[in-house]
Structure 1
C-alpha cells in the first residue's frame, strides 16, 4: 500500500473512529490540556473557555463544531489552567483546582468500591460502579444546550421530577449570560433540528427547515407549526436496481454540511456512485478528493445548507420523482416564460402610451403652428417657436374642469367670448377664456396672446398656463384670480370699502411695476394697448395682475412707435394719438395708466360723469376741480382721510402728467415708478389733460347730448381710420 492511502486512512480514522480513551478512572485523570472523546468521536469532554473570558469550565461539546452541550462547574469556574477531572476517594466524578479543592462534584452518595466515568456516543457522561450500574449521568442534569433526542424522566432513586423544556431554556439563557456567551434560540448546529430527510437553511434567521426533494413532512400539522423534529418521509418507494429501466437516481445538493456517521471508501467518483446505487441501503453519497468516497445508509439527519463552501451531497431518489422533477421544472419554465412575457408586454404598452402621449402633444403643437401660419400673423417676424413649450390642454380636460362650461362657473365675458372658472384633477383652480365660435372678434387676439404672454414672468402679470386648439375650439387657460377684476371693487359701493388708501396705493404701484416690466425689463418691448380696470385682476391678497394681451404689440429694441390702420381699444382709455391717428407707443400705455389713477382714487368711471350744465368725462372734471382748488371733492369718500391727503394729491398730480395731449410730454413708466416711490420729490407742473372724447364726437353724439344724457360707453372700437 502506498503512502497516500495510509495517510488518508489515518484521516478517516481520526474523523470517524476515535482511538482516544472515553473513560476516566481514579488512576486515569484529565488535565486542562487533555480531552476525552466518545467512541464514535462525535463528542469530547474537557476544559474550555467561552468567548470574552479566561475562566475555565469543564464541559461536553460536539467534536465537529465545538458546540457546547453540557457544563459541569458553571457556577464555580476555575481561574487558571491547573485544574483536573478525576474520580475522588468517595467515588464521585470531581473537578479539582490547582490547590486540589473541589470545584464541582457529581455528589452521589453510594457504597461502590470503585467507579468509572465514561463519555457515551450519545454525548451522555455516565458514572458507573464496578458492576457497570449507572450511578449518575449528565442527561439527568441537563445544562447549557438541549439535546433534541434527550428524554427527561424522574430520577430512579429520588423520584424528583426534572425541569421541563421551557424551564431548561430559561436556565440556558441565565447560564449563557453568566458564561458571557451570546447564544436567546436554536440553530442548524442543534442535533436533529430538522429531523430526518430535511435540510436546515443557515442563511435564514431564525433558521428554517424544508424537506429534501422527493420527501414530504411526516407530520404536517407539527411541520406547519415549525416543529420540525419529526422530519420527512419519502413520497415514493425506492426501486433499487430493478433492471426494468426504472432505476433510482441521485439528486445533487450543493454547499451542504453533510450528515455524520458516514462510511469511507477509497474509490473513484464513478465507482462511488456505482457502489451506492448497487447497495439498496445506501441513501446518499458524496465524493471529496481528500477523503475519496463517503456514503450513508439509513435516515439522513443534520443536513445544513451553507452560505458557501461545503460539500456536494447526492440524495437517492425514486424513479417516479425524476418525472415529477421534470414536470416541475417544465412548470417553472412555463411560469417564468409567462411572467417575462407579461413584463415585456407591460413595458411595450408603457412605451407605446408614452409615445402616443408625446405624439398627441406634438400633433397639437403642429396644429397650433399651422393655425398661426394660416392666419395673418400680427407679430411680424416673431418666431412661432415661442409656442412650442406652452402646455396644450385637451378639450375634454377643460370641459370637465368647468363642469361642461356651466353658466354657474361663468366669470365674465367680452367680444371674444366667455371666461369660466375651472378646477383641474389635481385641485388647481384655473380661469378658461373660450373664444366664441360665432364671434368675429378674438381670433387674432387669441393668437397674439398665446405667443406674447406665454414667455412673460412677473408677479404683476397674469400667468398663462396653456391653451387648447381642437377643431373650432380655441381657449386660453390662466391662473385663477379669486377677487376677479379691479372694476368689480372700485365701482361697487359695497366692495370698494375693502379698498382703503393703502390697498389702492399698492394696486397703483403694482400696475406701474407690471407696465415697466413690459416696456423696459422684459426681453421684448411690449405695448399693452388695452389697459383698463376690467383687465386688472386681483389675487387673494389683492395683488394686481395685468391681463388680456390680445391687443398687445411687440416692438423690436430699436423701435419706439408703431402705426396701424386697425384701431382697437376702449374709449376713455385710448390716448389721442392712437384714437385719431393709429399711432401707438409705450406712452399710449402711460396715458391709460393715468386714467386708471383717476378712476382708482375717485371710484368713478372716466366716461360716466354727469353734470346737468355740462357733460364732462372724469379727466375734464378732475382738471376743473384742480383749477378750482377743490380736488378734495373728487376723492372717494372711503379714502378721504386727511392723513393721506397729500399722498393722494401727489398721485393725482402724477395722473395729470400721464394724460397730457402730446405723447412726448408724458413721463415714461420708469419715471412714473420713481415718482410714485418718492425717488423724484419735485414733480413738474401739472398740465391740462387731452380731451379725446370731444375730438371724436359725431353729430349723432351731439344730438344725444341735447337730451343731457350721460355717456357710459365702454365699447371696443375697431377699424377706425387714422388721419
Structure 2
C-alpha cells in the first residue's frame, strides 16, 4: 500500500482475492479518502474532497446551501449538525451548480485562488506576496484547529488568514477590530438561509471609548453605519452594560481592548466551559451565541435583540424602555411626549421633550450668588443600559470620584447627563439621550440634569429666610428638645403596650425566654401618625400584598426613604406571636440574605412592623406569573437559589442562636432592586438549643406543600424541616411550577414524584421552565435538581444539612442518589407502586389535616 502526499489511497497485491477483500474492508472503514490536510500548487482541492484541520475539528469544502443552484467554498465544524457554515470565500461570486471542475488552488504568485472549470479566477486572496517565483511551489494553505484558514510561505510565515476577513461569524479567539482610520473587520449577515451573499445587517465595534457593539442595517458600505438597529451599551471591562446575559459566571473570557494611543479597538472571546462555540449575525439581524454540548448538536446560549426594548431607540429621545412594563415606554422625569397623539397610539419613536427649561439655558450670565440656589440638579436612575453617544472624560486621573464627574457636567451647560461607572470612569452626554433601557438586576446608574423645580427643590420659604439667627437657633433648640421628650414618651408607651398584652412574660418556650431578655425600645420607634402619612392612610394603592397575619403596605418617609409596613391583624392572637418574633428576632440577625427590620410602632390595637422596602416584591409574583416569569433567566434563578441557601446556612449554623424558620416558601423570599433574595416572615420561626436536633410543638403551623413529613404528621421540627422546604422551593424555581397546584394531565402524580421520575430516568432537564428555552447551564440545572430531590426525602436523616448544600452549590461535589419521596401534600396524591414484579403490592397513601394553615 502506498500513500500519496497528504491524500490517503492504497494499492494491494492481486495475488490473492481473499487478501484483497480483507484489506479493502479494513481501509474502507478507516480511510478518509476525500480528506486532505493542505493545499499547494501541486495539490489543489477539487470538488469531492475537503480540507480538514489536524484534529478533525473544522472542515473546508464546496457546498450548496439547502441544495440551492449556486455553489460556494466554506468552512464548518466537521462533526456537528445541523451544519453551520462559518466562513464563505466566494460569497459574492457563486459557482454554477453544474460546474463540477472548479477547484481551490495556490496560484503562481502565492495567492489562494478559486477557479472555475475553465480555470478562470472566481475569488482570490489578492495578497501582494514577497515570495519569489522559485519558492511559490512551497506556499501552502492550511486549516487550523481554531477554524482559521491560513496561507504560509516556504519559511512558514503567514501571508494571509481568513480570521482577518470574517463572513457572518466570529469564532473563539478571533478578533473583531476597529481602528482610527475607519477600517475594521465586521460581520455581515447572509441575505437569507439559502444565500450567503452580504445581507441587510452588520455587526461590529463602534468608534467610541469605551467601545460598544452595534448591529447596523447595512447600507452597502463598511465605513459608514447610518442606521443603528441594536446596541450593547459600553464595555465596562468585564461585560457590555446592556447585555444582562453576558454574566462572567457563565460566559468567561470576553474581552475588549481599547488602545487609545494606537486608536484600535479589539473584541475577542474564549468560552472556557464551552470551547466549541461561535457568535454570528443571522439574516434577520439577531446576534446569537451558539455552543455544543459535545453531543453533536447546537444550542443557543443567548441572543440579542430579544424583546422590543432591545431595538435601538424604541422609545425615542429622552424616553426609557422597560420590557416588563405596560406600556413599555415612558418619558424621563421632567420630560413629556413630543406628540401625545402618537404616544397614545404606541408610536414612541419621536420620544420626549423637556417640560421645564434648565437654569443654564435661561441664563446668559450667571452670578455666583444666584447659581448656588437656582442652578440645575440631577435625577438618579438605576439599572440602565446607558444612552448612546457618550463622551469619555480622559482628563480625570485614577483618583477621580463621582462628585468630580458631577461638577464637570454641572459646569458645562451642554452636558445633559453623567454616569460614573467604577470600572470605566466618567461618562457624560451632550446629545439627546436615546436608547435607554431599564433592567431588573443589571446595568448602571445615570444622573440626568433637571431644573430645581422638577426636582422639587424650590426657593426657601420666605418666612424662614426672614428669621434672625437668634430666632432660628431658638426654634431649632425647641425642636430638638421636643423630639427627645416625645421619643422618651414613645418608649414608655410601647413598653406599657408590651406589658399590658403580656408580651414580656417569661415562659418555658425558649423563644419567649430569649425575647424576655431584650428591651424592645432598642428598635427604632415610629410615630403612628408618621406611618399613616407615609402609607397614605394605608391606601389600597400602596398595598403590596397580604401575609398570613395581615397586609403589607409600601410607604415613603419624609426623608424619601421607602419602607414596607406590615400591619398585624388586631383580631389574630397568632399575630401577637409573630410581632414578638419578627421585632426582636430579626433585629438580632444580620445577613445580606435576610430581610432587615428597621423598627416598629404600637398604638392601642395597632401593631406595625417596619422593614426595608424590596422593590421587586416576592419571588412568587414572578415565578408563578406566566408573563413575568420571563424576567427570571437562569442566572437570576441560580443566584436566588444560592442566596436562599446562604441565608438558611446563617440561620442554622452561623448566627448567635440556631433559628428554624418553619415557613420557607416562594412568597416569603423577597427580591431587592438587583433581584437578590432575602428571607422574610419570621413570625413562625423558633430558636432551638444548639445541642438539640429535634423539637416538638403541639401546634402545627405552616404552608401546605412545604412542610416536611415529620413536622406535618407529628409536629417534630428541626433544621431538616427547613431543608425540606428549601428542596421544594428549589424545584419550583427550576420549573416555575407551584407544588400545590401541579397537575400532569389525568395522572395522579404529585410534583415531587414527577420531578424524581424525570431525574431517575435521566430526563432531569425536562423539569426546566420552557420559557428559558436553551438559555441555561445544564450542569447547574442538574446539580440543583439533584440537591432539591435530596432535600425532600421522607426521612430527615437522609437529607443534607445546609452546610452540605452550600458545598454542593459551590463545587462539583456530588451527593448520594436521592430516594423517591412518597409523602406528598398536594392537590393530587401520588400512589407509588412497587417496582418489583409483584404488581399486587399494596399502595401507600399519605394525607394530613393541618391545625393552622397559612
Q: Give the TM interval when normalised to the shorter protein.
A: 0.3 to 0.5
Greater fraction of residues in helix = 1
Q: Normalised by the size of structure 1, how large is the TM-score?
A: 0.47
Q: Normalised by the size of structure 2, how large is the TM-score?
A: 0.40
Larger radius of gyration: 1
